[in-house]
Amino acid sequence: MEQAEEKQGGTNEEEGAAAAGGGGGGGGGGRELGQKSGVKRRREEEEDEEETSPTKKLVSDHGEKVASHYNTLQEVGLVVRSQSRIFYMRNFNNWLKSVLIGEILDRVRGAGSRNVSVLDLGCGKGGDLLKWRRGGISHIVCADIAEVSVDQCRTRYEEMKRKSHSNEKIFSAQFIASDCSKEVLSERLDDPELMFDICSCQFVYHYSFESEQKADMMLRNACERLKPGGFFIGTTPDAYELVKRLEASDSLSFGNEVFKVSFQSKGSYPLFGCQYHFSLEGVVNVPEFLVYFPLFEHMAKRYNMRLVLKQRFSEFFEEKVKKENHRSLMMKMMALEPFPCEDGGQQATDNKEQYCHAEEHCSRPGVRPPVGTLSKSEWDATSIYLVFVFQKMS
Ligand SMILES: C[S@@+](CC[C@H](N)C(=O)[O-])C[C@H]1O[C@@H](n2cnc3c(N)ncnc32)[C@H](O)[C@@H]1O
């Protein structure tokens, strides 16, 4: 599933958009913006795997399809991205990853780790590099099946290093193009002794649920080099939610104008290889597979991993947004859309029904518009996902 990554460079957090207040949730309500938001469609730290028209290649192996798909994604500029219908949703997903990564880094540091090493499994074009930079890590290994993405990730890293201040020590990095559901990653490490504090697998793990063998290899790569007490964190679609929506649909698909999920059948869902197609903003994507979470959790035990957190995006958001620092990051990253938009501005869509929840929220006593929200369709898309955190037992 295509998701936003962070864009490196040009980040200026001090230009925060507006202060957050109370209020309801993303698509289910509105988050108050404390001041009239004069923000242009500017992103603070973003992303991104923006997709244009991927050239389709006839390939039999799903891994090849995935690599081919991501290799042909075009990087588009800020202007194009900021005009995207899902601009805020992408920023929202990015915010969520930032919060997750930040909190895990705090835990790792709290446990006494100084030189933090990270494995970014399915790193894409390096959209999370800036988050790791902010987190002050020492070393990263970025791995992805799509060679072109890995090259872009490396270029992004080198740019970041080149542009950094002389007094800032940027983490060291290794980049590996690999099908992490087939190949043992540890054999490719420059430092064969390297152990990780964190493995981050953002919007990736579901590709491996094609077969038990692949899911297990991905898990092995995520966990076998974790230090005792280390974390395996990630984001992936919630199979329960996908199946619930499918069962509620009178066809084999569901979605809205921003996303569509299509299955081949319903009623029976194999544990592995339960394939569906996902499209975002009209671009047909590569096949993905349901991840039956209890099975995932069970498999992780083989690697001595204990589930610490599993939360739907909606729950994670509701909890984290209560904290001032997360709220202010949310504003800086433009993770919610101001509603109503300022005079002369435009909402992400002209369809007023998309903002009924925000309108209703604004009418509540004590609420001072503008509020921060996502259009209903964007919320429906992002609320498919869940966040997970596993920890390696000692
Ligand atoms: C939706 S993108 C997410 C990229 C990045 N983690 C992020 O959060 O922006 C999914 C990524 O998973 C990678 N991927 C899928 N299957 C993979 C595999 N078997 N091994 C390594 N990477 C894989 C894709 O190439 C793609 O870059």
pLDDT digits (tens, 9 = 90+) for 174-216: 999 999 999 999 999 999 999 999 999 999 999 999 999 999 9
| pLDDT tier, 385 (very low <50, low <70, confident <90, very high otherwise) | very high
**DSSP label of 345:** -
Domain encompassing residue 117: 86-237+290-330+377-392
Number of domains in the chain: 1
Say how many Å lie between the first and final Cα of the chain, rounded.
33
Higher pLDDT among residues 129 and 69, named by residue: 129
Looking at residue 53, what is its pLDDT?
35
Task: Give the nearest ligand 1 atom to 1 CA.
Answer: 1
CATH number, domain with residue 102 = 3.40.50.150
pTM above 0.95, yes or no: no
Closest by Cα among 138, 20, 73 to 280: 73
Residue 212 to residue 220: CA distance in whole angstroms: 12
Ligand 1: centre distance to CA 362 (Å): 39
User: Burial level of 55, CB count in 10 A (0-12/13-18/19+)?
Assistant: exposed
Backbone angles phi, psi at 235, to 5 degrees: -135, 140
Q: Tell whether residue 128 is among the known ligand binding residues.
A: no
Looking at residue 369, what is its pLDDT?
93
Which of 47, 62, 68, 145 most suits a substitution to test ligand 1, by most atoms within 8 Å of the C-beta? 145
Q: Is residue 101 part of a domain?
A: yes
Of 5-14, 84-93, 360-369, which gets the smallest average pLDDT?
5-14
Q: Is residue 108 part of a domain?
A: yes
Closest by Cα among 235, 188, 242, 182 to 208: 182
Q: Is residue 112 part of a domain?
A: yes
| pLDDT tier, 284 (very low <50, low <70, confident <90, very high otherwise) | low
Looking at residue 65, what is its pLDDT?
85
* pLDDT cut 90: percent of the chain above it: 74
Looking at residue 44, what is its pLDDT?
39
Q: Is residue 33 part of a domain?
A: no
**Distance from the Cα of residue 222 to its chain's centroid:** 17
Q: Residues 296-305: what's their mean pLDDT?
A: 98
Residue 111 to residue 113: CA distance in whole angstroms: 6
Q: Is residue 110 part of a domain?
A: yes
Determine if residue 136 is left, alpha or beta; phi over 0 gives left, psi from -120 to 50 gives alpha, anything else beta: left
Higher pLDDT among residues 7 and 1, named by residue: 1
Structure tokens belonging to residue 94? 């990015």
Q: Is residue 133 part of a domain?
A: yes
Q: Residues 61-80: what's their mean pLDDT?
A: 80
Q: Is residue 56 part of a domain?
A: no
- Using the structure block, give the residue that is written with the tokens 């938009």: 341
Q: Is residue 243 part of a domain?
A: no
